[in-house]
Amino acid sequence: MRLKTVIAHGTHSSPRKSCTTAADGVFIAGTCQGPKDIPDTVAQGAAAAAAALSLIDLGKVNIEPITSVIDEDACAGCKVCISLCPYTAIHFDADKHVSVVEQAVCKGCGTCVAACPSGAARQNGYTNEQIFAEIEGALGLFPEQQQPAEAEIPDGAPVPA
């Protein structure tokens, strides 16, 4: 895990919050985050241990469902997505020469999807087809779908003029 992820959340004054990072389940304490004295380091270490324990106590972890995936056949291996992912959720498979999204780490921010020049990175639930269909629906480009259904007139009922 790259250091930028670890220090991303490192400026909060509360030891409980300053020990968290952008990656779920990764906590930090001490001077790896920045200069601090021994009492602050000890307090932060205790907070980090408590935060880790609370996760273990849950027994399970909920992960983001709207993650991105990379199409191996379309990936050009340029690594642009790797440098941009704020959660360091993408690694490079040197054997296949493609990038791979770690599903448990991805937060579904969509940065890699927007940046991928090959269109290889796609976000579950937000494919281009789904987004264009949403836009067309919002703009009313399918007026035939907006016509009210013809009401059935019961037998014997007066027919409106």
- Please identify, using beta-carbon distances, which residue of 9 and 107 lies nearer to ligand SF4: 107
Are 52 and 60 contacting, i.e. CB atoms less than 8 angstroms apart?
no
Q: Cα separation of 122 and 102, whole Å? A: 14
| Paired sense of beta strands 98-101 and 90-93, if any | antiparallel
Residues that bind ligand SF4 (CB under 6 A): 67-68, 70, 75-81, 85, 87, 89-90, 99, 101, 106-112, 116, 118, 120-121
Q: How far is the CB of 66 from ligand SF4 (least distance, A)?
A: 8
Closest CB 21 distance from ligand SF4, rounded Å = 14
51 vs 107, which CB is nearer to ligand SF4? 107
Q: Residues 67, 108: contact at Cβ < 8 Å?
A: yes
CB atoms within 10 A of CB 77: 15
Alpha helices by DSSP H, 59-120: 80-84, 111-115
The least CB distance from residue 96 to ligand SF4, in Å, is 11
Pick between residue 48 and residue 70 the one whose CB is nearest to ligand SF4: 70
Nearer to ligand SF4, 46 or 115 (CB): 115
